[in-house]
Structure 1
Amino acid sequence: MKNIYTLILFSFLLFFPELKAQEIYFPDAGEWEEQSASEFNLNFTEAVEFAKANEYSESRDLRQAILKGFQREPYHELLGPTKRRGGPAGIILKDGYIVARWGDTERVDMTFSVTKSFLSTTALIARDKNLITDFNDVVVDYVWDDTFEGEHNSKITWKNLLQQNSDWSGELWGGFDWADRPPQDQTIDEWRSRELHEPGTYFKYNDVRVNVLAYSLLNVFRKPLPKVLKENIMDPINASQSWRWFGYENSWTVIDGLKMQSVSGGGHSGGGMFINTEDMARFGLLFLNNGKWEDKQLISPNLINEAIQPSKPNPNYGYMLWLNTEGDRNIPEIDREIFYAAGFGGNFIVIDQKRNLVIVTRWLEPSKFKDFMKLIYKEI
């Protein structure tokens, strides 16, 4: 009997091949088709209203919000541009179609640490182009100056930088690694004299080290990372021309006789990615489809898969993408296989490959993210 049912199912799929795999819609430049969520037996009204009602509580003047948020850090200052933000905004995609949207989705705003996921994407491009032979290679073999010299720093691999477990020690663009998000129970002298952890053994969210990754990739590509991202990702996915990726006033270097800015991996000290909600959704859609946009494979699927593997020191973190695996950041009520980019002020790009969903929400009170996601998955 089981074999008969299998034969019937095979015959059914043979005559209706569109049922074998869900078709993904990819929007052209400046266009995006919308469909009602009800067409997919979904209803996101409650989640959308929740996002609109729970705006990030700090000032819309992001200069003030940043200085307040990082006021405890020694020597912290704004070195890159900032921009007054808009209100809550978001988009939900199903099979590539917009099934819900709120706020001004064309407004360009800072996106803070969501920038890290764009940065790690440039690393995937470098690996695809064989500019980096293996992410397990030590970075000192690729960067000619003294950034990775010394007994500790010379052990650091690309993977350590991507997973934020390098414990790189030093100063870059005037920022000290020990002064970035220091433990609250230590004095400045204790921060300075902290014990270094073996690379790959200790996770620490640290923008100075993220900026070291950006600088290292600049040395590998020998051209500005925004240009790399534009040519290899943003133009092929038909993103707008409004996004910008900034570094700091002092983050300039000379390569091949040309002065280039090394971009930042977030807005901690200003700078980072300034982008609209729709371009964030396009970026999420590319990852939803394992690096393929229509018939163009922009990132190898094996690298996408590698990027979302849990790191040993932090099972909720891959290559600058957050994971919903078991760990401190796990949300039990939603699928464990989702992954997402996250940034200061409540900026998120969530990818659910199993259900063909991309969820972008901006300026959502960060403590409300879990409740927002529960409302999304309540309807699935």
Structure 2
Amino acid sequence: MVHGSFLLWTMDHQLSTIPYLSNMKPKHLLSLFLLTVLPSLFVLAQQRSATYFPPAGIWEQRSPSALGLNAAVLDEAITLAKNGESKNPRSMEINHYRTFGKEPFGEGIGPFADRGEATGLIIYKGYIVAQWGEPSRCDMTHSVTKSFLSAVVGVAVDQRLIRDVKDTVAYYVPPIEWYNPKEAINRPSEDIGKPQLLFPFESAHNRTITWDDLLRQTSDWEGTLWGKPDWADRPDADANKWLNRPRNKPGTTYEYNDVRVNVLALAATSVWRKSLPQVLKQTIMDPIGASNTWRWTGYRNAWIVLDGQPVQSVSGGGHWGGGMFINAYDMGRFGWLTLNRGKWNGKQLLSEEWIRRSLTPTAAKTDYGYMNWFLNTDRKFLPSAPATAFTHVGNGNNLVYVDPEHELVAVIRWIDGKAQDSVIKKILEALPMR
């Protein structure tokens, strides 16, 4: 902040160092002031207004009162978050077999881990103003992984590896070779004639699917990937529809489906010609100063051969295990990146156009943009939050709340879905009056 005393000192200093100024005409004094004082004021104003981006390994914390927040109300929000902790088992594997594991082909094929306690961060104007639980602990983040997946697709679009999201995916994905180190060199006679390569977009329906369809979960992709049929994820109550229902035209019907999410991950891996965790690290996580402790995993059978090397095609969530294992600080950095429309400390990591698309409502589901950007335009998910807010959400629940209107990001982990809005409401009540 530039104080009046600084201005007086500056003018006095300038006048005292040049004795003949007292004899100068007023217009000449004004010119001198403009040349000497205003540049300093401009620099100070820039420093004051610049958005704070935490450097790697450091994240400045400020007391709530220093930024005009009500500390007592923030404490109430934290208490609500702790009291609203999910009652599901902390063992993610046991929790899986109590939920998704009951579905057909529901066996876990990726890593699970026990989770920590209820955890969170509140970030205001880029600074950490409150935290609780174990923010340094790397836990599964489940479907928040989908937001990282769409980010690496976004970078591929920005770099013109994918020319247009309206292009069909089949055009970009060649036949894919499975990697199986236990497979015999000479194929046994009973395997003769069986597929040796994976053609994920070979059917007449799948050939019409675009990148935009996959990103919005409106593709209705058909097939089996990594041993999981598309119909086995959240299957229809009517088993007669599992195998024989007519396909929906891509883009017309929304269905949250992790098999199809994993198809997108496979297609993106093919486009990048290297593992997606490497891409994410180089293009997003390192530039935003994320830690070196996050990991993005896939399934034990989800290995392919790329340019003669085995590469794991990672999963887009924790369904059947795997996905991102990450701490709350790194989730917060990603949230701050998306609040700032893909720009980090002057560098555009994700284009403005990509952010705009990510925040564009899906025709078949208007509170969903690109995966996993949940929009609050109808204010049903978070009634207490503004319509301009959006969230990256995963099972657990794992929530990255992004509120550009208030320069606010909140990471809330392992909270019951019914308690989310009350916590956000209390955080908003703690903000300075506008």
Of Structure 1 and Structure 2, the greater helix share is in 2
- Structure 1 partner of 2:195: none
2:155 to 107, 125, 128: 125
- Structure 1 partner of 2:282: 231
Confirm whether residue 334 of structure 1 aligns to residue 385 of structure 2. yes
Corresponding letter in the other structure for 2:62: Q
Distance across 2 between alignment mates of 1:55 and 1:195:
41
Distance across 2 between alignment mates of 1:18 and 1:343:
40
1:170 to 223, 229, 244: 223
Is contact 2:209–2:221 with CA below 8 Å preserved after alignment?
Answer: yes
Is contact 1:110–1:274 with CA below 8 Å preserved after alignment?
Answer: yes
Deviations 1:275-326 (A, max 9, x none): 0000111111111111111122211122112111101000010111110012
- Structure 2 partner of 1:315: 366
Confirm whether residue 203 of structure 1 aligns to residue 254 of structure 2. yes
Distance across 2 between alignment mates of 1:58 and 1:195:
36
Corresponding letter in the other structure for 2:416: E
- Structure 2 partner of 1:8: none
1:33 to 60, 69, 75: 60
Distance apart, 1:152 and its partner CA:
1.0
- Structure 2 partner of 1:10: none
Deviations 1:115-137 (A, max 9, x none): 00000000111001100000010
- Structure 2 partner of 1:6: none
Corresponding letter in the other structure for 1:307: S
Distance apart, 1:21 and its partner CA:
8.8
Is contact 2:214–2:260 with CA below 8 Å preserved after alignment?
Answer: yes
Is contact 1:280–1:349 with CA below 8 Å preserved after alignment?
Answer: yes
1:32–1:21 CA distance, 2 compared to 1 (3 A)? closer
Larger radius of gyration: 2
2:214 to 129, 150, 161: 161
Corresponding letter in the other structure for 2:318: G
Deviations 1:343-379 (A, max 9, x none): 1111011111121111101011122112222222233
Distance across 2 between alignment mates of 1:182 and 1:375:
37
4+ aligned runs moved over 6 Å, structure 1: 13-17
- Structure 1 partner of 2:406: 355
Confirm whether residue 277 of structure 1 aligns to residue 328 of structure 2. yes
Distance apart, 1:39 and its partner CA:
2.4
Distance across 1 between alignment mates of 2:403 and 2:378:
17
SS of equivalent residue, structure 1 residue 253:
strand
Gaps of 5+ in 2: 1-37, 176-198
2:238 to 161, 171, 186: 186
- Structure 1 partner of 2:193: none
Distance apart, 1:237 and its partner CA:
1.0
Distance across 2 between alignment mates of 1:22 and 1:66:
47
Distance across 1 between alignment mates of 2:106 and 2:100:
7
- Structure 2 partner of 1:140: 170
- Structure 2 partner of 1:302: 353
Deviations 1:158-208 (A, max 9, x none): 00000001000100000111010113x312x32222221110011100000
Corresponding letter in the other structure for 1:39: A
Confirm whether residue 113 of structure 1 aligns to residue 143 of structure 2. yes
The sequence identity of aligned pairs, in percent, is 47
Distance across 2 between alignment mates of 1:18 and 1:208:
51
Distance across 2 between alignment mates of 1:155 and 1:296:
35
SS of equivalent residue, structure 2 residue 102:
coil
Gaps of 5+ in 1: 1-12
How many residues align structurally? Answer: 365
Is contact 2:383–2:421 with CA below 8 Å preserved after alignment?
Answer: no
Distance across 1 between alignment mates of 2:106 and 2:93:
13
So what's the TM-score if we normalise by structure 1? 0.92
Corresponding letter in the other structure for 2:89: S
Confirm whether residue 324 of structure 1 aligns to residue 376 of structure 2. yes
Deviations 1:76-134 (A, max 9, x none): 11111111110011101111100110011100100000000000000111001100000
Distance across 2 between alignment mates of 1:125 and 1:280:
18
Distance apart, 1:331 and its partner CA:
2.8
So what's the TM-score if we normalise by structure 2? 0.81
SS of equivalent residue, structure 1 residue 354:
helix
Corresponding letter in the other structure for 2:54: P
Distance apart, 1:40 and its partner CA:
2.7
- Structure 1 partner of 2:203: 150
RMSD of Structure 2 on Structure 1 (CA)? 1.8
- Structure 1 partner of 2:419: 368
Distance apart, 1:20 and its partner CA:
11
Distance apart, 1:73 and its partner CA:
1.1
Could you tell which deviates more after superposition, 297-306 or 129-138?
Answer: 297-306
Is contact 1:22–1:95 with CA below 8 Å preserved after alignment?
Answer: no
